[in-house]
Amino acid sequence: MFRAADRLRVVLNHLDPPTAHIVASSTSAQIASYSHPQSLRYTLDNDVLSPEQKLFYEENGFILIKNLVSEDDIARFRGEFERICKGEVHIPGLVVMRDVAIAKSEFVKDQKAVSKLQDFQEDPELFRYCSLPQILKYVEAFTGPNIMAMHTMLINKPPDAGKKTSRHPMHQDLHYFPFRPADKIVCSWTAMEKVDRRNGCLVVLPGTHKGTLKEHDYPDWEGGVNKMYHGIRDYDPQHLRVHLEMEKGDTVFFHPLLIHGSGMNSTQGFRKAISCHYASADCYYIDVKGTTQENIEKEVQEIAARKYAMEDSIKFQDAWAFRGRLVHGERTSL
Ligand SMILES: CCCC(=O)SCCNC(=O)CCNC(=O)[C@H](O)C(C)(C)COP(=O)(O)OP(=O)(O)OC[C@H]1O[C@@H](n2cnc3c(N)ncnc32)[C@H](O)[C@@H]1OP(=O)(O)O
Ligand SMILES: Nc1ncnc2c1ncn2[C@@H]1O[C@H](COP(=O)(O)OP(=O)(O)OP(=O)(O)O)[C@@H](O)[C@H]1O
Ligand SMILES: O=C(O)CCC(=O)C(=O)O
Ligand SMILES: [Fe+2]
Ligand SMILES: [Mg+2]
């Protein structure tokens, strides 16, 4: 009989030493809560994940793969980001976001003002990230062969302006998505430089992908909160937290129900990461009316109505169908 604690130890051998140390320092009660999976629910067989890696994802809801994206590719993404910030290229549909602490200040056409690019699916250079074969190989282990890139971001977490607005509250990405099933959705998030607690690395609550979608709303933060940065109000503050310290090119794949956030950037540098949410093209859209997702639907529709100057006519689902791009296999449903 393979005990939970033994399995966790096996799995820890596949983590970075710092992360392994943090997981290993969890209490025995928390370790015991890693139950034995009856069968593999969250991963598929495509010979990419080792049995230990599968078990780790099943139990924790994330897996970190070291050195998956090359220095050259990251340099190219960084170059394109700079060109966008300088206004040298114009990408249809791209959303350029500024941190709430600087959004109201004078506009500077410089990357320093930009906290996030969203929806870069029409930028061939940045979208290369979503088609990288070594990423898709892993994605397929979660989604199967028909793969849609649904949501793209380049996050440029700014040095905190003193109001802690650079934090991203604890949340589940599924809150933003009107498609299911959740188990056929996965995020890939690649560090474009070394990320650690000082510059605001990702923080995850392992195992929370086994729970349900929780109610999200704006946190009561005195210094203000960025637009659409909803958080979970009632997550268990005692739950084991793992800080994912990563080197440039390291990539974490995580489940859309995994509770995660990122801390304040207390350095002077802009912490960069690039990410894509993938879903199986076999997923289907749902109506979020009457669910906890109604609040985000309303906000997305308000912004879309302003952006495309079309009152009320954009459905939440259509906004996703319009941005989604097939990256592998067939576009069967989404
Ligand atoms: C897994 C998925 C996870 C996620 O999707 S997380 C977050 C999702 N976020 C998004 O979809 C992007 C949301 N942001 C946006 O759409 C835009 O950045 C946003 C907020 C509409 C601003 O667009 P801009 O083109 O900059 O428009 P603008 O300069 O005219 O500003 C309009 C009003 O918005 C304010 N604003 C801008 N950036 C903000 C921020 N970061 N947080 C809070 N408020 C912000 C801005 O001050 C202005 O306000 P006012 O109308 O002057 O009172
Ligand atoms: N008061 C709070 N309420 C809700 N969430 C918070 C609060 N403070 C921090 N968080 C969230 O916890 C995560 C980590 O935040 P924080 O910046 O405090 O880093 P940390 O985990 O405490 O690490 P460090 O101590 O190294 O700063 C982020 O997702 C952040 O948004
Ligand atoms: O890079 C980060 O800080 C995390 C962003 C994130 O989790 C999100 O935008 O959904
Ligand atoms: Fe997220
Ligand atoms: Mg802290």
Integer distance in angstroms from the first to the last C-alpha of the chain? 42
132 and 72 Cβ atoms separated by less than 8 Å: no
pLDDT band at 99 (very low <50, low <70, confident <90, very high): confident
pTM (global) more than 0.90: no
Please give the mean pLDDT across all residues of the chain: 87
Confidence at residue 333, expressed as pLDDT on a 0 to 100 scale: 94
Given a cut of 60, is residue 203 above it in pLDDT? yes
What's the confidence (pLDDT) of residue 28? 35
Mean per-residue pLDDT, 14-31: 39
176 pocket-lining for ligand 1 (C-beta < 6 Å): yes
User: How far, in Å, is the centroid of ligand 3 from the Cα of 4?
Assistant: 30
Question: Residue 265 corresponds to which amino acid?
Answer: N
Specify the residue with its C-alpha closest to ligand 3, atom 8. Answer: 173
pLDDT level of residue 131 (50, 70, 90 thresholds): very high
Q: How many CB atoms lie within 10 A of CB 33?
A: 15
Give the number of the atom of ligand 2 that is nearest the alpha carbon of residue 264. 17
Q: Which atom of ligand 1 is nearest to the CA of 173?
A: 1
Task: Flag the least confident range among 67-71, 93-97, 105-109, 241-245.
Answer: 105-109
Q: How far does residue 197's CA lie from ligand 5's centre (Å)?
A: 9
Ligand 1 nearest atom to the CA of residue 168, by list position: 6
Residue 222, judged by CB atoms within 10 A of its CB (0-12, 13-18, 19+), counts as: exposed
* Residue 6: both structure tokens together: 């033994």
Share of the chain above pLDDT 90, in %: 68
pLDDT tens by residue, 168-179? 999 999 999 999
Which architecture, in CATH terms, is 4-328? Answer: Sandwich (2.60)
pLDDT at 312: 62
Give the ligand with the smallest distance to the CA of 176: 1
Distance CA 262, CA 115 (A): 13
CB 118 near ligand 1, within 6 Å: yes
- In the predicted structure, residue 111 carries a pLDDT above the cut 60: no
- Spatial neighbors of 273 by CB under 8 A, at least 6 apart, are 154, 155, 157, 189, 190, 191, 192, 195
**pLDDT level of residue 109 (50, 70, 90 thresholds):** low
Overall size of the chain counted in residues: 334
Q: What is the pLDDT of residue 104?
A: 60
Residue 27 Cα to ligand 5 middle (Å): 20
Q: Separation of 227 CA from ligand 1 center, angstroms? A: 5
| Torsion angle defined by CA atoms of residues 37, 39, 40 and 46, in that order, rounded to the nearest 10 degrees | 140
Distance 261 CA to ligand 4 centre (A): 6
Split at pLDDT 50, 70, 90, the class of 315 is: confident
Is 80 exceeded by the pLDDT of residue 95? yes
CA of 31 to the centre of ligand 2 (A): 23
Q: Which residues surround ligand 4, an ion (CB under 5 A)?
A: 173
- Ligand 2 atom nearest to CA at 197: 26
Residue 106 in this model has a pLDDT that exceeds 70 = no
- Judge whether residue 103 has pLDDT over 80: no
Supply the residue whose CA is at minimum distance from atom 15 of ligand 2. 263
How confident is the model over 216-243, as pLDDT tens digits?
999 998 888 888 999 998 889 899 999 9
Predicted pLDDT at 110:
53
Confidence check: pLDDT of 161 > 50: yes
Answer yes or no: is pLDDT of 37 > 70.
no
Q: What's residue 302's pLDDT? A: 86
Q: Over 50: is that where the pLDDT of 144 sits?
A: yes
Ligand 1 neighbour 227 (Cβ under 6 A): yes
ipTM (interface predicted TM): 0.86
For residue 197 and ligand 2, the question of a CB distance below 6 A is answered with yes
Residue nearest to atom 19 of ligand 1 (CA): 97
pLDDT beyond 80 at 17: no
